[in-house]
Amino acid sequence: MRSLGNTALVDYGIQTEKSHIRAHVCPKARRVYVYPTPNGIEAIESGAYISRPGYQSGISMPTSLGYLVPPFDIAECVALAIRPDAWDYLNFSDEDSLTDKGNKAVRLVKGMLKRGLFPIPAIGTEITDRDLQVDGTDIIIRAGAIRQQDIVIQVKCDFPGGERDLGGTGNLFLQIAECNPLGIH
């Protein structure tokens, strides 16, 4: 039998990360749910949602702890439908390792970004100068909700998550603690 590494849950999750935006890739529902990270934290801190343990295959003890939150209970959460062939190409499987699920989720989001299918907060400034408008400039944007900045996205493969009528659990799993008994990275 393989020896277990870290078996104690430690604070690690949405409240400790440095992201601006979270993307929950939900293969069962075939949706990607995107929201500002602070809005997810606000949802779990509201006290309105229950926490539940999560488990890794082959491990009898909880390996994570998180809150079950319906996607649209998170302020500004949007559900993005991706073409079926993108899901088919990545061939997500519940039998995939955690690493493979995570890598596939990141590939999906990177593809969305490359194709302009991922919502990035931006400030649009309307151009009122008539000469610039005649030249074809109506709006100039700056990435970032407050100022121009790098935008950090945390991608989570939330395999069973998503809307119930799409085949998901009806919730997203907003993790706040984990342990890593198998040393998976």
pLDDT digits (tens, 9 = 90+) for 41-66: 999 999 999 999 998 888 888 999 99
Query: Closest by alpha carbon to 173, among 19, 26, 11?
Result: 26
Neighbouring C-beta atoms of residue 164, cutoff 10 Å: 11
In the numeric block, the tokens 């995570």 are attached to 102
Report yes or no: 66 and 173 within 8 Å, Cβ to Cβ. Answer: yes
Determine the 3-state secondary structure of 131 from DSSP. helix
Q: What is the pLDDT of residue 123?
A: 75
Q: Give the pLDDT band of residue 8 (cuts 50, 70, 90).
A: confident
Phi-psi region for residue 132, left (φ > 0), alpha (ψ -120 to 50) or beta? Answer: alpha
Range ranked top by mean pLDDT from 52-66, 91-105, 144-158: 91-105
Rounded-to-5 percentages of helix, strand, coil across the chain? 25, 25, 50
- 102-141 pLDDT per residue, tens: 999 999 999 999 999 999 877 778 888 888 788 888 888 7
Q: Domain ranges for the chain, please list them.
A: 10-121+151-178
In the numeric block, the tokens 């935008």 are attached to 151
Residue 1 in this model has a pLDDT that exceeds 50:
no
